[in-house]
């Protein structure tokens, strides 16, 4: 058995060597032994779990579902300590930092944590950090707590169909932040001109030009009043930009934000340091034009990589805390798979909801925001993009150039930008990275986990015409469950009658794509694979059940242009091919039973189905 030293265990679990020794002496590290004067810990020892309970009772703290305020989280909920993010920042201290991460990966909570840590306050806010990791890091960091005036804006809810509404909301966000610093209205340190400007913003009478200078003016007034430069935090800065792209006011919103940020972050003598978060960097719109003090941290960068999302150790500790250690494999399959820099990361929103709902797996993330962009990509995908999406759904990787500065208008003009966007937005993971001299990357990308696969498949179904897509898919799903070939054949033919005229050409590949789209609705119960080797050949489509209670399915498809050809015979030939080439061999070896073999023959808008089960060789479809 391999052993770790105290120092190695300390690094592995991010605990002090003293704490490791205490755990060894108290018997909380199973298998730890004293060799000479040193402790040795088994390499496979369980991560030491600190039980998180309410200080007033023995009950476990509730999970912070939908809670993004730092003080509220640390005082009443289970909190995964990310305060070392502060240390990592202070150690490098870039003037302006942009952190790009997918939605619901802890950006807002981290920004609120920074606000509480740095902001001057009449209350003693150090109490919210004294039992956290940052407080143990020394006086250098403790002395920065509560020392700066802070400007905090969040654009995460600026989602409107028209620029007029979006601008009104942006203006209200700025007005509310001015109101939070109302003491400036009468500050003797500020000039009468500044106080009058303040009143104009506060009253909501400022025009677009005046609002675009508002952050520069507010930081100057705060600096004069407190004698300290301001910290400026902008959360989810690109939400209105994405909305502007989708709704046709892209130029308006990027123009306003460019001017707003220029005053706040570019050559601003009243800025201590700034933070921004978003999904994309949006560099090429010149929003950050000339801002040579900007440090961009994307999912490709190692620095800060473990502070957005949960690490594996953090998830295992949470499972242990709530008595769900046996769910480790399932939670990994559903919500792990992201790679930020050199860190393996879990989706925190989904992990919290999964444990809160008694570990019943669902696609929690896909319901937290719009998937309009991925739907648009799928709907307008070229044949090669469609083929790559199919490969991704089958668990394969796609090699592509990744531009971390991808912008929304490029999604349809530049094919490689599609994968860049999907990667930055959390719909893909980087399985392998090859840095390029231009600052971008060649990546092997893949779908990160079962939850995101569900999102792709849902959007593929949405691709079908609205009046037929979901209802037809549901009818096919029901026919398979009921083993009703008559209904299966009718549902497929009904769909073909309504849609095939919209395609210039048809072939076996079209029909295979059609069937794969319909099978996608079964993904929660089945692993859907296509054109894979099994037995003595390559099957067209296979549905491998996750549960032993469900049957397996093998589909073999045949196509002919000859309307006089006997489709019943062609379907029977497809069925015979499944038996002859033993496509069901892999499922048989895995103990799947029964296995339903389905041969389908297509010609134009017609389909004929022949089916058979391995169960006593009886025909179970009529």
pLDDT tens for residues 97-155?
999 999 999 999 999 999 999 999 999 999 999 999 999 999 999 999 999 999 999 99
Rounded distance, CA 449 to CA 309, Å?
A: 15
Q: Supply the pTM of this predicted model.
A: 0.73
Task: Compute and round to an integer the Cα radius of gyration of the chain.
Answer: 29
Q: Where are the alpha helices (DSSP H) in 181-293?
A: 192-203, 208-212, 214-226, 239-247, 250-265
CB atoms within 10 A of CB 555: 24
Question: How high is the mean pLDDT of the chain?
Answer: 84
Confidence (pLDDT) at 67: 92
Choose between 388 and 447: higher pLDDT: 447
For residues 419-436, give the mean pLDDT.
86
> How many whole angstroms separate alpha carbon 340 and alpha carbon 342?
6
Residue 55 pLDDT class (50, 70, 90 cuts)? very low
Residues 452, 426: Cα–Cα separation, whole Å: 8
Residue 122 Cα distances to 56, 126, 188, angstroms? 27, 12, 19
Coil, strand or helix at 88:
helix
pLDDT at 58: 53
- Cα–Cα dist 11/4, whole Å: 10
Q: What confidence score (pLDDT) does residue 51 get?
A: 45
pLDDT tens by residue, 603-616: 888 889 888 875 53
**Model confidence band, residue 56 (pLDDT cutoffs 50, 70, 90):** very low
Which of the pair, 358 or 464, is modelled with greater confidence?
A: 358
Structure tokens of 325? 């250690």
Distance CA 285, CA 405 (A): 10
Q: 148: how many CB neighbours lie within 10 A of its CB? A: 20
* DSSP one-letter code for 109: H
Per-range mean pLDDT, top range of 198-202, 285-289, 386-390, 486-490: 198-202
pLDDT of residue 5: 87
Q: Is 432 helix (H, G, I), strand (E, B) or coil?
A: strand
Cis peptide leading into 245, omega within 30 of 0? no
B/e letters for 289-322, b = 16+ CB within 10 Å, e = fewer, are eebebbebbbbbbebbbbbbbbbbebbbbbbbbb
Count other Cβ atoms within 10 Å, centred on residue 16. Answer: 12
Of the listed ranges 268-282, 314-328, 447-461, 608-622, the one predicted with least confidence: 608-622
Alpha carbon distance 205, 427 (integer Å): 42
* Contact criterion met (CB below 8 Å) for 347 and 335: yes
Among the four given CATH numbers 3.90.1570, 3.40.50, 3.30.310, 3.30.70, the one describing domain 466-613: 3.90.1570
Alpha carbon distance 131, 127 (integer Å): 8
Whether residue 334 is predicted with pLDDT greater than 70 in this model: the reply is: yes
Short-list 93, 138, 148, 96, CA closest to 117: 148
Q: Which ranges of 230-321 would DSSP assign to H, the alpha helix?
A: 239-247, 250-265, 312-321
Q: Give residue 14's pLDDT band: very low, low, confident or very high (50, 70, 90).
A: low
- The pLDDT of residue 419 is above 90: no
When pLDDT is cut at 50, 70 and 90, the band that residue 395 belongs to is confident
Kindly report, residue by residue over 203-229, the tens digit of the pLDDT. Answer: 999 999 999 999 999 999 999 999 999
- Higher pLDDT pick, 195 / 562: 195
Cα separations (Å) of 608 from 287, 579, 580?
57, 18, 20
Token code pair at residue 376: 């648009």
Out of 3.40.91, 3.40.30, 3.30.450, 3.40.50, select the CATH number for domain 80-297: 3.40.50
Q: Say if residue 342's pLDDT is above 60.
A: yes
What was the pLDDT predicted at 48? 58
Question: Would you list the domain boundaries of the chain?
Answer: 3-42, 80-297, 310-364, 372-453, 466-613
pLDDT category at 15 given cuts 50, 70, 90 is low
Q: What is the pLDDT of residue 378?
A: 65
Ranked by mean pLDDT, which of 22-26, 172-176, 292-296, 341-345 comes out on top?
172-176
- Which CATH class, in words, describes the domain spanning 3-42? alpha beta
Kind and range of the H or E run holding 339? strand 338-340
DSSP code of residue 46: P
Confidence of residue 193 (pLDDT cuts 50, 70, 90): very high
**CA 399/CA 352 separation, integer angstroms:** 32
What would the pLDDT profile of 361-370 be if each residue is shown by its tens digit? 988 987 766 6
pLDDT on residue 620 = 37
SS3 per residue for 597-614: EEEEEEECCEEEEEEEEC
SS3 state of residue 301: coil
Instruction: Check residues 172 and 386 and name the one with the higher pLDDT.
Output: 172
Between CA 551 and CA 547 the distance in angstroms is 9
Q: Do residues 545 and 592 touch, judged by C-beta distance below 8 A?
A: yes
Token pair in block for residue 380: 């307008």
The bridge status of strand 310-311 relative to strand 150-154 is unpaired
Q: Residue 471 — pLDDT band, cuts 50, 70, 90?
A: low
Mean pLDDT of 503-522: 67
Q: What angle do CA 355, 356, 361 make, to 5 degrees?
A: 55
């Amino acid at each position: 058995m391999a052993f770790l030293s105290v120092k190695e265990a300390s690094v592995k679990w991010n605990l002090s060597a003293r704490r490791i020794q205490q755990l060894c002496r108290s018997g909380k590290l199973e298998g730890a032994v004293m060799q000479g004067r040193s402790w040795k810990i088994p390499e496979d020892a369980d991560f030491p779990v600190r039980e998180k309970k309410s200080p007033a009772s023995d009950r476990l703290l509730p999970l912070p579902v939908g809670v993004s305020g730092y003080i509220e989280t640390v005082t009443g909920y289970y909190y995964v300590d990310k305060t070392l993010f502060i240390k990592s920042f202070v150690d490098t201290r870039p003037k302006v930092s942009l952190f790009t991460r997918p939605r619901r990966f802890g950006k807002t909570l981290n920004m609120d944590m920074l606000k509480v840590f740095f902001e001057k306050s009449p209350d003693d806010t150090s109490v919210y950090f004294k039992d956290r990791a940052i407080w143990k890091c020394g006086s250098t960091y403790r002395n920065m707590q509560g020392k700066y005036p802070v400007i905090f804006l969040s654009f995460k809810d600026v989602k409107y169909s028209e620029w007029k509404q979006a601008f009104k909301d942006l203006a209200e966000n700025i007005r509310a932040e001015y109101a939070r610093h109302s003491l400036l209205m009468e500050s003797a340190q500020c000039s009468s001109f500044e106080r009058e400007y303040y009143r104009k913003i506060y009253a909501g009478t400022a025009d677009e030009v005046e609002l675009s200078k508002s952050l520069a003016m507010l930081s100057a007034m705060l600096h004069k009043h407190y004698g300290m430069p301001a910290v400026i935090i902008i959360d989810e800065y690109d939400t209105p930009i994405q909305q502007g792209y989708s709704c046709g006011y892209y130029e308006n919103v990027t123009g306003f934000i460019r001017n707003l940020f220029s005053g706040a972050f570019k050559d601003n003598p009243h800025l201590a340091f700034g933070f921004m978060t978003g999904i994309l960097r949006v560099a090429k719109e010149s929003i950050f034009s000339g801002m040579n003090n900007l440090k961009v941290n994307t999912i490709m960068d190692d620095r800060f990589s473990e502070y957005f999302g949960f690490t594996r150790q953090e998830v295992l500790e949470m499972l242990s805390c709530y008595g769900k250690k046996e769910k480790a494999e399932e939670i990994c399959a559903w919500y792990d798979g992201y790679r930020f820099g050199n860190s393996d990361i879990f989706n925190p929103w989904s992990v919290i909801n999964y444990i809160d709902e008694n570990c019943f797996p669902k696609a929690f993330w896909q319901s937290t925001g719009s998937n309009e962009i991925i739907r648009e990509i799928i709907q307008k995908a070229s044949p090669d993009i469609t083929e790559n999406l199919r490969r991704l759904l089958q668990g394969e990787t796609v090699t592509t150039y990744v531009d971390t500065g991808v912008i929304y208008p490029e999604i349809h003009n530049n094919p490689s930008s599609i994968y860049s966007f999907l990667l930055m937005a959390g719909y893909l993971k980087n399985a392998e990275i090859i840095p390029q001299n231009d600052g971008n990357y060649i990546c092997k990308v893949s779908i990160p986990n079962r939850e995101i696969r569900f999102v792709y498949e849902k959007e593929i179904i949405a691709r079908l015409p609205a009046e037929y897509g979901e209802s037809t898919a549901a009818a096919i799903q029901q026919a398979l469950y009921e083993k009703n070939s008559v209904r299966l054949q009718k549902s497929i033919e009904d769909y073909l009658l309504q849609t095939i005229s919209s395609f210039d050409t048809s072939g076996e590949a079209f029909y295979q794509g059609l069937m794969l789209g319909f099978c996608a609705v079964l993904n929660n119960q089945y692993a859907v694979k296509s054109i894979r080797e099994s037995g003595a050949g390559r099957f067209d489509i296979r549905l491998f059940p996750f549960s032993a209670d469900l049957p397996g399915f093998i589909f073999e498809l045949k196509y002919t242009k000859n309307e006089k050809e006997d489709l019943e015979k062609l379907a029977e030939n497809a069925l015979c091919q499944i038996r002859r080439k033993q496509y069901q061999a892999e499922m048989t070896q895995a103990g799947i039973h029964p296995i339903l073999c389905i041969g389908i023959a297509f010609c134009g808008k017609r389909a004929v189905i022949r089916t058979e089960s391995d169960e006593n060789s009886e025909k179970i479809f009529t």
